[in-house]
Structure 1
Amino acid sequence: MKRRYRRLLALSIAFLTACSPAPNGSGPSLPTRTMGLQDSLPPMRSFAGDRVTTPTRSNREIGKDFMDLSFQMESGRPVTRLTRFETPISVRVTGQVPPSLTPDLRALLGRLRDEAGIDIFMTGAESAAITVEAIPRAVLNKAVPRAACFVVPRVSSWAEFKSVRRTPTVDWTTLERRDRATVFVPSDVAPQEIRDCLHEELAQALGPLNDLYRLPDSVFNDDNIHAVLTSFDMLILRAYYDPALANGMTRGQVAARLGPVLDRLNPAGQARPARPQNDTTRDWIQNIETALTAGSSGTTRRTAALRAVNLARALNWSGPRDGFALYAFGRLNVGYDSDLALNAFQQSLQIYNGSPETRLHAAHVSVQLAAFALSSGDGQAVLDLAEWALPVAAAHENAALLATLMMFKAEALEMQGRSGEASAVRLDSLGWARYGFGHDDNVRARLSEIASLNPLKGT
């Protein structure tokens, strides 16, 4: 079965400056003073894969999230039984493996062992329970249009997947237990995109099959804000593999045992009050997907985003869903109605700033606001936004976001006449940019795009 087109729907860094406000004039043509762009870039930097800590919510809330994640597909189809691998779980890597993949996978498996308590390890054996196969994006997209990465049950190779892709063999809802699965990732994209695919798809190979837009602190959310598994995700996976649960359990059987499991694994969540939760309507999801998916006209996408904003308000949501709808609406109005876009970003930031669980969301919105501030010549506003968001991006191991914020900071420093500091920050951004954006041409393009927003660098 085809799984998850989350990378298609990404509203984060992937097309940041395509939606940024344009300054007056045609902008620079990569002037040497911006950053020695004719020179070789510094070595790529990457994160150590340390634990990402997020706030712990009420166990009653987490219990409902667990049930909705585990017993329903993204399409709304019910999953009748819990299925998981029997441990220990072996993982192998095949295909055209880029240099960053194996180190990032090893770091992820280490976190799964330490934080989720799952006995999982790498192997070279063909009989591995989970295969990670890296193939060129063009090959992947030819077979599965617009999918960036996905996971499939009951197969161990790309060739095997293609032979059974339209059969019940790859239907997750028919599983009695999990014995084999393959995660397909692109081999020729930025290291961060490959790493994000590993985190997202390996987590679903192991555990829940659903995504919930209401989650503020999880990769199990199609808003794509979180790039790596959070402590919430690790708690979900730890509970999923707890000895109190077993393959084949029904929803009712799991519900009867889950409360004590979570209280044992997450004692801090016992006393915290459960906040009201309501399900995300299919109408809202359909409007968001229309807004984010290329192919429809700009008017259709903007109208769909506005409907999502209004639905969120009508349902009195306050958090990741209404903030995200406003964020999407803002992105789609940049270049069309800048006042509407700016207002939407400001409202989105206000919502996201209302909870520590959505600090990373606020950091993404800060990039958009920094673009407006830079293009208007307000260097101090850019610095204020960047200084707040930089440690958030670093803590959540988002190199693309981190590098972008540093590039904005460098432009703001230069705008204030602090050229030495600007050069140092810009240089420091490049190692992270190589991990976040991949090819050196992509890094140089991002530098140029952000520099073009600086009114002091116009023609």
Structure 2
Amino acid sequence: MRILLLILAALTLAACGAPPPPDTPTRRITLPTAQPLPPMKTFAVPKVSPPGQSNTAIARDFLDLSFALESGRQLPVLTRFEGPISVRITGNAPASVGPDLARLLSRLRREAGISITQVPPDQPASITIEVMARSELQRYVPQAACFVVPRLSSWEEFKRLRRTDAVDWTTLQTRERMSIFLPGDVSPQEARDCLHEELAQALGPLNDLYRLGDSVFNDDNFHAVLTGFDMLILRAYYHPSLQSGMTREQVAARLPAILAQLNPRGQGIADTLPSRTPRAWIEAIEEALGPRTSDARRQAAAKRAVSIARQQGWTDNRMAFSLFALGRLALSGESDIALASFLQAGVLYKSRPETQLQAAHVSMQLAAFALSSGQADTAIQMVDESLGIVVQAENAALLSTLLMIKAEALEVQGRVVEAQAVRRDSLGWARYGFGSDDSVRARLSEIAALSSRVKAAG
């Protein structure tokens, strides 16, 4: 389930983008409000990196992902589809969903070896993807951006059976019918992100692990499209040596041979046993990122998460994420804490090859700080260092924001023609990442406000 966390709004630049007081001299911000935006850009050929973990670590992750739910409830047996899988789309799907689904199914066939095809909406299917208004979806599951349920084929069935054992994953022995519910009145990127995460869970593991740095199976929601690690997990999940109904012990006995066959490079990588993730840290993170509490309580929870992470001696993804969450929450009132938290998180993320996308998110925040303080060279350098990994991760919202920051920094340097070209490029990506023209122009205005005082002073 893709949960509505504050991290999904990590690009709001809350404090940095605040307008200056009325008595501060500024230059008028000129935005292309009257001109049509350029065509929407989309990503072409996927650029997928193989997992860098040892097979021993991947086997451990596979078991922890496959035999528990996100709530912590244990699953008694492995369940999957046995035989070819069909997928259909019903409801009012926006134009981007069809191509994005076709691209995802092609990747699943090619990279995960899964026999999966799309069928017309009026035909029965193993997996039904029903698209609806966000308000309708959240009327029944308020904290979900999208979700998957077993044994059902429609929203009407879900409304009727949602409180019964029909949707209880722990009672499954095999998978035959699944329904994915996702909103259609969102940006193309948000709809695509839901497709990737929910279809992956409809097919395979149902759990998320905060310790994973290169996976959509992580509630930090940094990764939005299936990674090389995720595809390996799914390929192993559908290996002929496994089948529905197997226990954790039975699967564990077969995993070493399966991974040696599928991922021979992982045989020679040393394993590092991760420490347990205390429930207290998870609860602190969930409170910090949850929508139903005050800003003060969220920030206190983030500080608690950082404290627990330090007590655990972590230097991994969990420590960095604690700092990133604190940085985001401190932006609106304690910019010194925000900056210090981002700097520390950036060092940790950059130290690991599997968390370079997370480092790019931090760099976006730091580039915003640099731009607003007149350090145009630093802002441009941070943006340029991040673009490659962001393109590989297919995050159009982050990509467009970085390019908008670069355009503003170029203007500060007086490189107006270059700035116009970069800004136009950013708008094509923004149409995919943010959706409506109003949302795109609002983001453009926020980024322009970062450099308004610098431009006025110049």
Q: TM-score by structure 2 length?
A: 0.96
Of 311, 316, 339, which residue of structure 2 is paired with 1:319?
316
Closer/same/farther in 2, CA of residues 56 and 450 from structure 1, 3 Å limit: same
In the aligned structure 2, how far is the partner of 1:451 from the partner of 1:166? 48
The code of the aligned residue for 1:381 comes to T
In the aligned structure 2, how far is the partner of 1:10 from the partner of 1:57? 29
2:14 counterpart SS class: helix
Please say if residues 193 and 436 of structure 1, whose CA atoms lie closer than 8 Å, have aligned partners that are also in contact.
yes
Please say if residues 19 and 332 of structure 1, whose CA atoms lie closer than 8 Å, have aligned partners that are also in contact.
no
Please say if residues 141 and 148 of structure 1, whose CA atoms lie closer than 8 Å, have aligned partners that are also in contact.
yes
Q: Which residue of 2 aligns with 1:46?
A: 42
Q: Over residues 271-306 of structure 1, what are the superposed CA-to-partner deviations in whole Å (9 max), with x where a residue is unaligned?
A: 100012122211101000100112312221111101
In the aligned structure 1, how far is the partner of 2:249 from the partner of 2:313? 30
Of 10, 16, 20, which residue of structure 2 is paired with 1:20?
16
In the aligned structure 2, how far is the partner of 1:318 from the partner of 1:258? 28
Q: Which residue of 2 aligns with 1:180?
A: 177
Closer/same/farther in 2, CA of residues 134 and 308 from structure 1, 3 Å limit: same
RMSD (Å), alpha carbons: 1.7
Please say if residues 13 and 400 of structure 1, whose CA atoms lie closer than 8 Å, have aligned partners that are also in contact.
no
Give, in angstroms, the shift of residue 10 of structure 1. Answer: 4.6
Q: Which residue of 2 aligns with 1:248?
A: 245
Of 313, 333, 336, which residue of structure 2 is paired with 1:336?
333
The code of the aligned residue for 2:150 comes to P
Give, in angstroms, the shift of residue 49 of structure 1. Answer: 5.2
The code of the aligned residue for 2:124 comes to S
Q: Over residues 336-385 of structure 1, what are the superposed CA-to-partner deviations in whole Å (9 max), with x where a residue is unaligned?
A: 11111100000000000111111000000011111111111110110011
Q: Over residues 63-93 of structure 1, what are the superposed CA-to-partner deviations in whole Å (9 max), with x where a residue is unaligned?
A: 0000000001111110000000012100000
Please say if residues 2 and 198 of structure 2, whose CA atoms lie closer than 8 Å, have aligned partners that are also in contact.
no
Of 87, 90, 93, which residue of structure 2 is paired with 1:94?
90
1:92 counterpart SS class: strand
Of 65, 68, 77, which residue of structure 2 is paired with 1:69?
65
Q: Which residue of 2 aligns with 1:442?
A: 439
Q: Does 2:394 match 1:388?
A: no
Q: Which residue of 1 aligns with 2:112?
A: 116
Closer/same/farther in 2, CA of residues 414 and 25 from structure 1, 3 Å limit: farther
Of 153, 165, 172, which residue of structure 1 is paired with 2:162?
165
Give, in angstroms, the shift of residue 112 of structure 1. Answer: 0.2
Between the two proteins, what is the percent identity of the paired residues? Answer: 56
> Where does the alignment leave 5 or more consecutive residues of structure 2 unmatched?
none
Closer/same/farther in 2, CA of residues 28 and 391 from structure 1, 3 Å limit: farther
Q: Does 2:300 match 1:303?
A: yes
Closer/same/farther in 2, CA of residues 171 and 28 from structure 1, 3 Å limit: farther
The code of the aligned residue for 1:365 comes to V
In the aligned structure 1, how far is the partner of 2:243 from the partner of 2:21? 64
Closer/same/farther in 2, CA of residues 120 and 19 from structure 1, 3 Å limit: farther
The code of the aligned residue for 2:307 comes to N
Closer/same/farther in 2, CA of residues 14 and 132 from structure 1, 3 Å limit: farther
Give, in angstroms, the shift of residue 390 of structure 1. Answer: 1.2
2:216 counterpart SS class: coil
Q: Which residue of 2 aligns with 1:269?
A: 266
Closer/same/farther in 2, CA of residues 394 and 10 from structure 1, 3 Å limit: farther
Of 422, 426, 433, which residue of structure 1 is paired with 2:419?
422
Equivalent residues, number = 454
Q: Which residue of 1 aligns with 2:134?
A: 137
Give, in angstroms, the shift of residue 24 of structure 1. Answer: 3.9
Q: Does 2:454 match 1:456?
A: yes
2:274 counterpart SS class: coil
In the aligned structure 1, how far is the partner of 2:150 from the partner of 2:303? 37
Please say if residues 26 and 455 of structure 2, whose CA atoms lie closer than 8 Å, have aligned partners that are also in contact.
no
- Bigger mean CA deviation after superposition, 228-237 or 24-33: 24-33
In the aligned structure 1, how far is the partner of 2:418 from the partner of 2:271? 47
Please say if residues 94 and 132 of structure 1, whose CA atoms lie closer than 8 Å, have aligned partners that are also in contact.
yes
Q: Which residue of 2 aligns with 1:56?
A: 52
Give, in angstroms, the shift of residue 391 of structure 1. Answer: 1.3
Please say if residues 192 and 435 of structure 1, whose CA atoms lie closer than 8 Å, have aligned partners that are also in contact.
yes
Q: TM-score by structure 1 length?
A: 0.96
Q: Which residue of 1 aligns with 2:79?
A: 83
Q: Over residues 109-145 of structure 1, what are the superposed CA-to-partner deviations in whole Å (9 max), with x where a residue is unaligned?
A: 0000000000000001532000111001111111211
Give, in angstroms, the shift of residue 230 of structure 1. Answer: 0.1
The code of the aligned residue for 2:38 comes to P
Q: Which residue of 2 aligns with 1:208?
A: 205
Moved over 6 A (4+): 27-30
1:148 counterpart SS class: strand
Of 346, 350, 353, which residue of structure 2 is paired with 1:353?
350
- Bigger mean CA deviation after superposition, 124-133 or 357-366: 124-133
Please say if residues 90 and 122 of structure 1, whose CA atoms lie closer than 8 Å, have aligned partners that are also in contact.
yes
Please say if residues 302 and 332 of structure 1, whose CA atoms lie closer than 8 Å, have aligned partners that are also in contact.
yes
Q: Does 2:152 match 1:155?
A: yes
In the aligned structure 1, how far is the partner of 2:454 from the partner of 2:68? 53
In the aligned structure 2, how far is the partner of 1:182 from the partner of 1:250? 25
Please say if residues 68 and 210 of structure 1, whose CA atoms lie closer than 8 Å, have aligned partners that are also in contact.
yes
Please say if residues 17 and 449 of structure 2, whose CA atoms lie closer than 8 Å, have aligned partners that are also in contact.
no
> Where does the alignment leave 5 or more consecutive residues of structure 1 unmatched?
none
Give, in angstroms, the shift of residue 18 of structure 1. Answer: 2.5
The code of the aligned residue for 1:171 comes to D
Q: Which residue of 1 aligns with 2:192?
A: 195
Q: Does 2:231 match 1:234?
A: yes
Give, in angstroms, the shift of residue 32 of structure 1. Answer: 6.5
Give, in angstroms, the shift of residue 228 of structure 1. Answer: 0.2
Closer/same/farther in 2, CA of residues 37 and 410 from structure 1, 3 Å limit: same
Please say if residues 89 and 120 of structure 1, whose CA atoms lie closer than 8 Å, have aligned partners that are also in contact.
yes
